[in-house]
Amino acid sequence: MIELIDIHKSFEDKEVLKGISAQFEHGKTNLIIGQSGSGKTVLMRNIVGLTDPTQGKILYDGRDFTQLGKSEKMNLRKEMGMIFQSAALFDSINVLENVMFPLDMFSSMTYRERKRRAEFCLDRVNLLEAEEKFPGEISGGMQKRVAIARAISMNPKYLFCDEPNSGLDPKTSLVIDALIHDITTEYNMTTIINTHDMNSVLGIGDSILFIREGLKEWEGTKFDVVKSQNEYLNHFVFASEMLRQVKDHIQVK
Amino acid sequence: MLILNWLRDTGRYMELMGRTFSIPQRMHMFFRQYKTEMYQLGVNSIGIVLLISFFIGAVICIQFKLNIQSPWMPRFVTGYATREIMLLEFSSSIMCLILAGKVGSNIASELGTMRVTQQIDALEIMGVNSANYLILPKITALLTTIPMLATFSIAAGIFGAYCCAWFAGILQAEDLTYGLQYSFREWFVWCGIIKSFFFAFIISSVSSYFGYSVEGGSVEVGKASTNAVVSSSILILFSDLFLTSLLT
């Protein structure tokens, strides 16, 4: 479980996060949603340690990430996997080598074992046939799937996804969502997803944190979203006419 | 403001070098990267180094022969001057200025692109010391290859001068040989190699700093590439002055 306690983050005199507290449970897909500029990317960067919060605690199963030493942080990071908005694959090496990279760096497996593990992960995301290709030779959706394979290659306890559906068509987005959800339950990981995608919110939102102007505005599950009376949440989630009609239909029923 | 920026950059550079110079997390990964960088930064520069050095050697030879030709001047002076220029300045300092443009911009743009496409963030999240993994192989590869390129450059320059003698008939090859051997001091070869060693460090570390610390998008990557070349060149010229007075 990951727990945030009163997270503040300021850039010079601008306070972006104004005291966010939340809990993200393991085995669930925990979504962070909010409008552009609401602070969700800054929150994610603080959680994974790419930036330090100005104030507050980030507990990984009780371990306060902000208080850990350099080597302890390095060790904790080996338990993390992350899927970036741009996939962030290393473009000078092929797909298989990308997935093998964390294993090459940190495992004591033999080359054959590392290759077998990487191929297993690629097979899990249905991309075994692309192992010899370079990131520039495959589509955006395939790149995201390779990023998922790379993220799970070390069996992480914590998985972070920064807008995993960004730039993908709706059908591919559903595939990526389903894959992340399945992997989360299969490996019992604590997964945190930063997203704008309403299909993800209503599809895989086991737990949803809605932030607005650096503050926690609302939290609940995908089932609570439909029933919520929070004005800002409704404006954000049901911004499109079609979704509004779907909501009205469900409520009438 | 300018001084503050300079101090801030110097501090960040020192901090980055502190992170870079640590024991690699996996030696086999370090050597894999080291071999790749040796090839990309060093071996791929051999062609341009040989080409430029050959022609500059030939041009120095022609210029000296034509401009200082006089009955009072010994005939071996052309060979002597060509050797001294190639050994002391061209093959170390000027060649490194050229390499700062080629290799420095390559390093800065590669690391800058890795930064803006979040590849460096991905390494950090995995628990990899990204500075050590990405920059140390570049520095060690250039420290290995640039002194070699400097010696290749000396050889190519002298070969260029000989080509002038053999094919253009501007001077006698025997005079050139005599001039090249006249009052030869082996220490001057070492001076060139020692200087190129320092310049290799400047090119690789300064360019890595500018590339690694990019914030923003493609425009900033372009700026970082330009800053890397300009800063490396200025530092090479300053340290050349210092090293020349120290070594000769």
Residues making up chain A, counted from first to last: 253
Residue of B25, B29, B119 lying closest to A90 (CB–CB) = B119
CA A81, A85, A88 angle in degrees (round to 5)? 65
What is the C-alpha to C-alpha distance for residues B228 and B108, in angstroms, rounded to an integer? 7
What is the C-alpha to C-alpha distance for residues B169 and B82, in angstroms, rounded to an integer? 16
CA A33, B114, A194 angle in degrees (round to 5)? 10
pLDDT averaged over every residue in chain A: 89
Contact B125 A74 (CB under 8 A): no
CATH H superfamily, domain A2-222: P-loop containing nucleotide triphosphate hydrolases (3.40.50.300)
What's the pLDDT score for residue A251?
67
Residues A136, A94: contact at Cβ < 8 Å? Answer: no
Q: Is the pLDDT of residue A75 over 90?
A: no
Residues of A in contact with B36 (CB under 8 A): 92
Q: Is the pLDDT of residue A240 over 80?
A: no
Interface of B with A in 36-55 (CB under 8 A): 36
**Which residue, chain included where needed, has tokens 């009780």?**
A62
CB-based contact (8 Å) between B218 and chain A? no
Name the percent of chain B lying above pLDDT 70.
100
What is the C-alpha to C-alpha distance for residues B128 and A77, in angstroms, rounded to an integer? 9
What's the pLDDT score for residue A228?
82
What's the pLDDT score for residue A165?
85
Residues B16-37: what's their mean pLDDT? Answer: 94
**For A42-73, what is each residue's pLDDT tens digit?**
999 999 988 999 999 999 999 999 899 888 88
Work out whether strand A207-212 and strand A190-195 pair parallel, antiparallel, or are unpaired.
unpaired
Helix, strand, coil distribution of chain B in percent, nearest 5: 85, 0, 15
Residues A84-94: what's their mean pLDDT? Answer: 91
What's the pLDDT score for residue A13?
84
**Residue that wins the pLDDT comparison between A113 and A233:** A113
**For B85-133, what is each residue's pLDDT tens digit?**
999 999 999 999 999 999 999 999 999 999 999 999 999 989 899 999 9
**For A138-195, what is each residue's pLDDT tens digit?**
998 899 999 999 999 988 999 999 988 887 888 888 888 888 998 899 889 999 999 8
pLDDT averaged over every residue in chain B: 93
Helices B105-116 and B218-247: crossing angle, nearest 10°? 140
What are the boundaries of each domain within chain B?
33-66+74-247
Say what the ipTM of the complex is: 0.84
Q: Is the dihedral of CA A136, A138, A140, A143 positive or negative?
A: negative
**Residue that wins the pLDDT comparison between B71 and B47:** B47
Q: Is the pLDDT of residue A253 over 70?
A: no
Contact B127 A106 (CB under 8 A): yes
Mutation site, A73, A84, A158, interface B, largest B CB count within 10 A: A84
Give the closest-approach CA distance of B121 to chain A in angstroms.
7
Residues A215-240: what's their mean pLDDT? Answer: 85
Helices B119-126 and B105-116: crossing angle, nearest 10°? 70
Structure confidence at residue B35 as a pLDDT band (50, 70, 90): very high
Q: Which residues of A53-62 are buried (b: 16+ CB within 10 A; e: fewer)?
A: beebebbbee
Provide the β-strand partners of residue A18.
Answer: A8
Residues B227, B212: contact at Cβ < 8 Å? Answer: no
Q: Which residues of B205-227 are buried (b: 16+ CB within 10 A; e: fewer)?
A: bbbbbbbbbbeeeeebbeebbeb
Q: Is the pLDDT of residue B74 over 80?
A: yes
Residues of A in contact with B125 (CB under 8 A): 48-50, 77, 80-82, 160
Give the closest-approach CA distance of A88 to chain B in angstroms.
5
Residues B159-178: what's their mean pLDDT? Answer: 89
**For A2-27, what is each residue's pLDDT tens digit?**
999 999 999 988 899 999 999 999 88
Interface of B with A in 99-138 (CB under 8 A): 117-119, 121-122, 124-129
Residues A17, A53: contact at Cβ < 8 Å? Answer: yes
What is the C-alpha to C-alpha distance for residues B1 and A173, in angstroms, rounded to an integer? 48
Q: Is the pLDDT of residue A241 over 80?
A: no
Report phi then psi at A25, rounded to 5: -90, 155
Name the percent of chain A lying above pLDDT 90.
46
Q: Of B53, B111, B50, B117, give the one whose Cα is nearest residue B87.
A: B53
Report phi then psi at B185, rounded to 5: -120, 115
Report phi then psi at A24, rounded to 5: -120, 115
Size of the A and B interface in Cβ pairs below 8 Å: 56
